[in-house]
Amino acid sequence: MEAMRTQLSLAPLAGIETELLAVLAADTQTAKGPDAKPVPVLLTADPSVLAAAQAVLASGEFKADANETLLLHSPAGLAAKRLLLVGLGKQAKASASAVRNAAGTAVRFTKPRAIRELVFALPSTASPEPEAAPAVSEPAVAAPELKPAAPEPAAATPELKPAAPEPAAATPLPKPEEPAPAVPESKSAEQKVAEPVAKSVAPAPADAAPAPADAPLTPAVAVPAPAPAAPKPTIAVQYLPLLPPGPCTRAAVEGALIGDFDPDTYRSDRKDQSVLSFTVAAPADADKPTLEKAFAEGVILGESQNFTRSLVNEPGNKLTPTILARRSVQMSELVGLNCRTFSTDKLHDLKMGAFWSVSQGSAEPPALIVLRYEPAGVTEGPVLGLVGKGITFDSGGISIKPADNMEKMKYDMAGGAAMIGAMRAIALLKPKVRVIAVVCAAENMPSGTAQKPGDVQTAMPLEPGKPGKTIEVINTDAEGRMVLADGLTYARQLGATHLIDAATLTGACVVALGYANAGAFSNDDATFEKFNAALAASGEKFWRLPLGEEYAEQIKSDIGDIKNTGGRWGGASTAAEFLKVFVEDTPWIHLDIAGMAWIEDSKPYIAKGPSGVAVRSILEWVRSYQM
Shortest CA distance to 502 belongs to which of 449, 442, 579, 430?
A: 579
CA separation for the pair 394, 445 (Å, rounded)? 7
Residue 197 reports pLDDT greater than 60: no
The pLDDT value recorded for residue 271 is: 83
CA separation for the pair 56, 69 (Å, rounded)? 12
Report the DSSP pairing between strands 456-458 and 434-444: unpaired
CA separation for the pair 467, 84 (Å, rounded)? 64
CA separation for the pair 440, 417 (Å, rounded)? 11
> Is residue 32 annotated as a catalytic residue, yes or no?
no
CA separation for the pair 112, 156 (Å, rounded)? 17
Dihedrals φ, ψ of 118, to 5°?
Answer: -155, 155
The pLDDT value recorded for residue 242 is: 55
DSSP string covering 376-407, please? TT--SS-EEEEEEEEEEEE--TTSPPPSTTGG
Residue 132 reports pLDDT greater than 60: no
User: Which whole-number Å values give the CA distances from 280 to 250, 348, 351, in the listed order?
Assistant: 10, 52, 52
Higher-pLDDT residue of 589 and 206 is 589
Residue 426 reports pLDDT greater than 50: yes
Instruction: Classify each residue of 14-39 as buried b or exposed e, where b means 16 or more C-beta atoms within 10 Å of its C-beta.
Output: bbbbbbbbbbbbbbbbeeeeeeeebb
Which residues make beta-bridge pairs with 99? none
> Is residue 108 annotated as a catalytic residue, yes or no?
no
- Residue 562 and residue 471 in contact, taking contact as beta carbons nearer than 8 Å: yes
Residue 297 reports pLDDT greater than 70: yes
3 state SS for 153-198: CHHHCCEECCCCCCCHHHCCCCCCCCCCCCCCCCCCHHHHHHCEEE
- Average pLDDT (143-167) is 42
Angle (deg, nearest 10), helices 615-623 and 414-429: 40
CA separation for the pair 623, 627 (Å, rounded)? 9
Residue range 314-623 in CATH 3.40.50.620: no
CB atoms under 10 Å from CB of 584, counted, come to: 12
Give the pLDDT band of residue 1 (cuts 50, 70, 90). low
pLDDT in tens, 546-605: 999 999 999 999 999 999 999 999 999 999 999 999 999 999 999 999 999 999 999 999
The pLDDT value recorded for residue 243 is: 75
Shortest CA distance to 422 belongs to which of 484, 371, 485?
A: 371
Which residues make beta-bridge pairs with 472? 456, 563
The catalytic residue among 481, 492, 563, 580 is 481
The pLDDT value recorded for residue 143 is: 52
What is the rounded (10 degree) CA torsion for 427, 432, 434, 439? -30
Residue 142 reports pLDDT greater than 60: no
- Average pLDDT (20-34) is 94
With H, G, I as helix, E, B as strand and everything else as coil, classify residue 509.
Answer: helix
Q: CA angle at residue 553 from 550 to 555, to 5 degrees?
A: 125
Q: CA angle at residue 439 from 437 to 442, to 5 degrees?
A: 175
- Average pLDDT (338-351) is 98
- Residue 348 and residue 356 in contact, taking contact as beta carbons nearer than 8 Å: yes
User: Where are the alpha helices (H) located in 195-343, listed in sequence order?
Assistant: 233-236, 245-260, 288-313, 321-335
- Average pLDDT (31-49) is 93
- Average pLDDT (302-309) is 98
The pLDDT value recorded for residue 83 is: 98
pLDDT in tens, 63-113: 999 999 999 999 999 999 999 999 999 988 899 999 999 999 999 999 999
Residue 179 reports pLDDT greater than 80: no
Q: Is 561 exposed, middle or buried (0-12, 13-18, 19+ CB in 10 A)?
A: middle
Q: What is the mean pLDDT of the chain?
A: 86
pLDDT in tens, 383-412: 999 999 999 999 999 999 999 999 999 999
Residue 263 reports pLDDT greater than 90: yes
Higher-pLDDT residue of 99 and 188 is 99
Shortest CA distance to 357 belongs to which of 209, 167, 486?
A: 486
Higher-pLDDT residue of 169 and 57 is 57
In the Cβ-directed half-sphere of 551, how many Cα atoms lie within 13 Å?
Answer: 21
Shortest CA distance to 291 belongs to which of 138, 422, 430?
A: 138
pTM to 2 decimal places? 0.83
Residue 366 reports pLDDT greater than 50: yes
* Percent of the residues in the chain that have a pLDDT greater than 70, as a whole number: 81
pLDDT in tens, 504-541: 999 999 999 999 999 999 999 999 999 999 999 999 99
The catalytic residue among 63, 187, 401, 544 is 401
pLDDT in tens, 243-261: 788 999 999 999 999 999 9
Instruction: Classify each residue of 194-207 as buried b or exposed e, where b means 16 or more C-beta atoms within 10 Å of its C-beta.
Output: eeebbbbbbeeeee
- Average pLDDT (45-66) is 95
CA separation for the pair 226, 237 (Å, rounded)? 11
CA separation for the pair 58, 40 (Å, rounded)? 9
> Domain segments of the chain: what residues?
5-295, 314-623
Residue range 5-295 in CATH 3.40.630.30: no
Shortest CA distance to 157 belongs to which of 286, 275, 288?
A: 275
